[in-house]
């Protein structure tokens, strides 16, 4: 075999090797792309979420960012009272609930008995019920025991403050009554209006009134609307014992919620049907509980269950002018 022939066979062999190598890479890349595509196909579709109407202020912020990051998902957030939320969940009109509390054991059993629904609960942040009053409201003596006295159905004295909630169907009413130990009757001094804004207006215009509103509606101190609101009212404080047993003054604020000293802290809790598959519901729950969602909660003045890590860069170079 002459040199030219040997060179020809070698050239063909190299060329075929390159072609097969390229084909193999192409096939491998296509397989990886197909796998990647299939992964993204999981997170396409419609997600129906029912949210406690007392959480609308903060969840609208989360909704906006989630939709921006997941534009292939059509999320429908609806803000309702708890009764409507549970009905939607049972009928599968909503597949994810965001409540302002954890489910009671009896509620979990009721869902299980309905159609063997096994629920998955995951807390994502801590909110509170804020007590508000006019700027000249004297809260120096106010504590948990005195609040209980104000709600007692036997106490209807005109000297006692009026106690005002934003809506008779709101979770705030049930949360406060449960905390104070009242299941049925309460003082005739307890009233319900139609919205948080109505409570704020009423409190700002009347001296002897205590308003009960979700803290997240006034927690973002950088929001201009909140700044204007806090000029008209004040967040009332309570005398309470801290973890060391000392009497301190606490109120609905980020620090006292983080410390756990404020007695009216409540949990933002997600509820889904328990499945073994990744789905749109878990995509949103993960978003709320991880870094991006946690930062939104933190910036808005609430406390996320998982505090996002902060990177601090320390300049190790010699300080200019130091000896």
Strand partners, 270: 98, 122
Task: Specify the 3-state DSSP secondary structure of 190.
Answer: strand
Residue 111 in contact with residue 119, Cβ under 8 Å?
A: yes
pLDDT at 29 (0 to 100):
44
pLDDT at 140 (0 to 100):
93
Question: Residue 264 and residue 287: Cα distance in Å, rounded?
Answer: 26
Q: Tell me which of 3.40.190.10, 3.40.50.620, 3.40.50.2000, 2.60.40.420 is the CATH number of domain 42-126+267-304.
A: 3.40.190.10
Provide CB contacts within 8 A for 162, sequence distance 6+.
Answer: 189, 190, 191, 206, 208, 209, 210
Question: Residue 261 and residue 245: Cα distance in Å, rounded?
Answer: 11
Task: Specify the 3-state DSSP secondary structure of 52.
Answer: strand
Query: pTM for this one?
Result: 0.81
Residue 82 in contact with residue 91, Cβ under 8 Å?
A: no
Residue of 156, 202, 203, 212 lying closest to 179 (CA atoms)? 212
Residue of 217, 208, 232 lying closest to 142 (CA atoms)? 208
Question: Residue 202 and residue 219: Cα distance in Å, rounded?
Answer: 19
pLDDT tens for each residue of the chain, 323 residues long: 544 443 333 444 443 343 334 344 444 445 445 444 444 445 789 999 999 999 999 999 999 999 999 999 999 999 999 999 999 999 999 999 999 999 999 999 998 888 777 899 999 999 999 999 999 999 999 999 999 999 999 887 778 999 999 998 999 999 999 999 998 899 999 999 999 999 999 999 999 999 999 999 999 999 999 999 999 999 999 998 888 888 899 999 999 999 999 999 999 999 998 876 668 999 999 999 999 999 999 999 999 999 876 655 656 655 555 54
Question: Residue 252 and residue 256: Cα distance in Å, rounded?
Answer: 7
pLDDT at 189 (0 to 100):
93
CATH code linked to domain 127-265: 3.40.190.10
The secondary structure of 63-79 as a DSSP string is HHHHHHH-TTEEEEEEE
SS3 content of the chain, % helix, strand, coil (to 5): 45, 20, 35
E strands present in the chain: 45-52, 73-80, 96-99, 119-134, 162-165, 190-192, 209-214, 233-235, 238-241, 247-250, 265-273, 303-304
Provide CB contacts within 8 A for 160, sequence distance 6+.
Answer: 150, 187, 189
Residue of 158, 160, 171, 9 lying closest to 79 (CA atoms)? 171
pLDDT at 315 (0 to 100):
62
pLDDT at 156 (0 to 100):
74
**Matching fold, domains 42-126+267-304 and 127-265:** yes
Segments making up each domain of the chain, as ranges: 42-126+267-304, 127-265
Residue 221 in contact with residue 227, Cβ under 8 Å?
A: yes
Residue of 70, 88, 66 lying closest to 79 (CA atoms)? 88
């Amino acid at each position: 075999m002459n040199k030219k022939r040997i060179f020809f066979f070698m050239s063909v062999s190299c060329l075929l090797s390159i072609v097969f190598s390229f084909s193999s890479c192409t096939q491998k890349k296509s397989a990886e792309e197909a796998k990647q595509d299939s992964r993204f196909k999981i997170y396409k579709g419609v997600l129906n979420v029912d949210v406690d109407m007392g959480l609308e202020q903060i969840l609208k912020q989360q909704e906006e960012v989630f939709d921006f990051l997941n534009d292939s998902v059509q999320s429908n957030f609806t803000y309702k009272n708890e009764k409507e939320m549970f009905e939607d969940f049972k009928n599968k009109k909503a597949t994810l609930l965001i409540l302002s509390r954890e489910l009671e054991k009896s509620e979990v059993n009721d869902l299980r008995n309905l159609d063997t629904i096994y629920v998955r609960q995951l807390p994502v942040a801590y909110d509170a019920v804020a007590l508000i009053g006019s700027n000249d409201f004297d809260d120096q003596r106010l504590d948990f025991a005195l609040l209980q006295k104000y709600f007692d159905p036997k106490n209807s004295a005109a000297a006692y403050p009026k106690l005002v909630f934003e809506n008779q169907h709101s979770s705030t009413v049930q949360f406060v009554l449960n905390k104070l130990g009242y299941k049925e009757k309460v003082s005739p001094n307890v009233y319900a209006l139609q919205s948080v804004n109505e409570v704020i207006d009423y409190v700002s215009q009347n001296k002897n009134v205590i308003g009960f509103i979700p803290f997240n509606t006034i927690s973002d101190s950088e929001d201009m609307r909140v700044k204007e609101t806090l000029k008209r009212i004040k967040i009332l404080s309570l005398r309470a014992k801290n973890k060391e047993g000392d009497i301190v003054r606490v109120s609905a604020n980020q620090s006292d919620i983080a410390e756990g000293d404020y007695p009216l802290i409540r949990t933002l809790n997600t509820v889904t049907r328990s499945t073994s598959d990744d789905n749109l519901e878990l995509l949103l729950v993960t978003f709320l509980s991880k870094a991006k969602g946690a930062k939104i909660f933190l910036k808005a003045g609430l406390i996320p269950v998982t505090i996002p890590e902060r990177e601090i860069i320390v300049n190790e170079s010699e300080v200019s002018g130091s000896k």
